[in-house]
Amino acid sequence: ILNVEQSPQSLHVQEGDSTNFTCSFPSSNFYALHWYRWETAKSPEALFVMTLNGDEKKKGRISATLNTKEGYSYLYIKGSQPEDSATYLCAFMGSGGYQKVTFGIGTKLQVIP
């Protein structure tokens, strides 16, 4: 059974604070890691697809890094805004069963104005 862990499971930050959270996954048989942003009553929306060790991706104030050797990815949000409030999911694709996707439980972020 593949274990994809996210921490923390929930987080409250003040508007303007920067924050980060972690996704850990099996370091063997890595193929790709996805980050999704999931607002309440909406569908998950892709943020990043990461495939190479050392990848760093950025979209506005949100960025992500990837370390496949040690099996973790960080998601950073700089200067959090209330509209960043959402659940952030990571999803792991391994090379054995490459279309099988394993999700973490998510980190629920609440940005307090």
Partner 1 sequence: EPEVTQTPSHQVTQMGQEVILRCVPISNHLYFYWYRQILGQKVEFLVSFYNNEISEKSEIFDDQFSVERPDGSNFTLKIRSTKLEDSAMYFCASTGLAYFNEQFFGPGTRLTVL
Window 56 to 95, contacts with partner 1 (CB under 8 A):
89, 91, 93
Cis peptide before 8 (omega within 30 of 0): yes
Binds partner 1 (CB under 8 A): choice among 18, 58, 105, 112: 105
Sign of CA dihedral 95, 66, 75, 21: positive
Structure tokens at 26: 């099996």
CB-wise, 71 or 104, nearer to partner 1?
104
Stretch that binds partner 1, among 13-21, 26-34, 53-61, 69-77 (CB under 8 A): 26-34
**Checking DSSP bridges between strand 101-103 and strand 107-112, what pairing results, if any?**
unpaired
Q: Does 54 bind partner 1 (CB under 8 A)?
A: no
What does the block give as tokens for 34? Answer: 């996805």
Near partner 1 by CB under 8 A: residue from 42, 60, 70, 113: 42
Q: Is 55 in the site for partner 1 (CB under 8 A)?
A: no
What is the Cα 51 distance to its own chain's centre? 13
Backbone angles phi, psi at 83, to 5 degrees: -70, -10
Summarize as ranges the residues that interact with partner 1 (CB under 8 A): 31-32, 34, 36, 42-46, 49, 51, 89, 91, 93, 97-106
